[in-house]
Structure 1
Amino acid sequence: MCESNVYILDANGERSLIMESVDKIVPGEKDVYLENIFGERKTVKGHIKEMALVDHSIILAK
């Protein structure tokens, strides 16, 4: 399986889960579009900070 969980970093550097089983990510200028295998969609303000695909995690920052 190639899905990843997406987290966002808060001001303290703690990460919070935004969405599980994400298989589509489209970065924009000021936001990131996410879509998971269940058809759920979400747009989050921020940018991609780190992608650890072996660990199936993607970290976003505001």
Structure 2
Amino acid sequence: MCEANAYVIKDGQEQLIMESVDIVEPESDDTWRLVGIFGDRKTIRGRIKLMNLVDHKILFEEK
């Protein structure tokens, strides 16, 4: 499967915000909609710092 887990950097640490992310869509400036494989959704404000698809990891930085 090609889904990835999404993390945000807070206080220098990676914190999991959503597992099994299938879709990452821009909503507006620095706002992203994450959609999971089961249809669950989350919105995060920040920028993408890293996408490592081999390790199934999407890393966001809050603004």
Give the TM-score taking structure 1 as reference length: 0.92
Aligned position for 1:26: 25
Aligned position for 2:49: 49
1:33-53, Cα deviation, whole Å (9 max, x unpaired): 100001100111111110000
Percent identity of the aligned residues?
Answer: 49
Question: Counting strand residues as a fraction of each chain, which structure ranks higher?
Answer: 2
Per the TM alignment, residue 30 of structure 1 is displaced from its structure 2 partner at its CA by 2.0
**RMSD of aligned residue pairs (Cα, Å):** 0.9
Aligned length: 61
Structure 1 residue runs without a partner (length 5+): none
Structure 2 residue runs without a partner (length 5+): none
Please state if 1:60 is matched with 2:45: no
Please state if 1:15 is matched with 2:14: yes
Give the TM-score taking structure 2 as reference length: 0.90
Mapped to 1, the partners of 2:32 and 2:12 lie a distance apart of: 19
Equivalent AA in structure 1 for residue 43 of structure 2? T
Per the TM alignment, residue 13 of structure 1 is displaced from its structure 2 partner at its CA by 1.6
Equivalent AA in structure 1 for residue 18 of structure 2? M
